[in-house]
Amino acid sequence: MKYAYEKLMEENDLTIAELPADAKQGINQIKKIEKAIKLVQSRGKSVSNDTINQIRVNDKWIVREILDYLEDKDVDRGEMPNSAEDIIESIEEDNTPTADPKGLKIDKELKALFDAGKTSLTIDEIRSSARNAYDVIFETYERDGDNGVATSYYSLIEQQDGDYSLTSK
């Protein structure tokens, strides 16, 4: 993301060292936020529009600080509108995995089967005793592929046509 403060600095041939303390602090805060964003993106996740808007508000604050410096004004704009810590926290909250309700149902079904001592099942047994697991297997079934379903705690994997093995992780 290219920031307005970076463009303003380029246009006016400014370095960070020349800027007033408030602008430097704001830029350091944005750099901290950028690190958090890169970490989240490296995991294939994204940042919400609300978070992007908070970053843009901070960018505008930095621009105003730089403009004050360029115009030789000393206007006290107070603290940056959104702290880096708050923005980083919202980035983390945006990307906290949420449990899939269907996955929880499947996990519950597989737990009940496993607790009952069922470790080898036919597709018909799965259909009658673990309907959610059966639905997923049916929807994703590939004739020549690996078939089954896995949750955080259990795996129900096809061993041969129609026969499945249930294991705990």
How many C-beta atoms lie closer than 10 Å to residue 168's C-beta? 11
Q: How many percent of the chain have pLDDT more than 70?
A: 96
Residue 22's nearest CA partner among 78, 106, 71 is 78
Instruction: Write down the mean pLDDT value for the chain.
Output: 88
- At 97, is the pLDDT very low, low, confident or very high (cuts 50, 70, 90)? low
pLDDT at 62: 95
In the chain the first and final C-alpha atoms are separated, in Å, by: 41
Q: How confident is the model at residue 98 (pLDDT cuts 50, 70, 90)?
A: low
- E-strand ranges in 28-139 read 120-122
**pLDDT at 95 (0 to 100):** 67
Higher-confidence position of 149 and 97: 149
Look at residue 23 in the predicted model and tell me its pLDDT: 93
3-class SS letters over the chain: CCCHHHHHHHHCCCCHHHCCHHHHHHHHHHHHHHHHHHHHHHCCCCCCHHHHHHHHHHHHHHHHHHHHHHCCCCCCCCCCCCCHHHHHHHHHHHCCCCCCHHHHHHHHHHHHHHHCCCCEEEHHHHHHHCHHHHHHHHHHCCCCCCCEEECCCEEEEEEECCEEEEEEC
Residue 110 pLDDT more than 80? yes
Structure pTM? Answer: 0.56
pLDDT above 90 for 1: no
Does 80 have pLDDT greater than 80?
Answer: yes
Backbone phi, psi, residue 149, to 5°: -145, 145
Per-residue pLDDT, averaged over 112-125, amounts to: 94
pLDDT value, residue 88 = 87
Question: Which residues make beta-bridge pairs with 122?
Answer: 163
The pLDDT assigned to 157 comes to 93
Mean pLDDT of 97-109: 79
State the Rg of the chain over Cα: 27
**Average pLDDT over every residue of 28-53:** 86
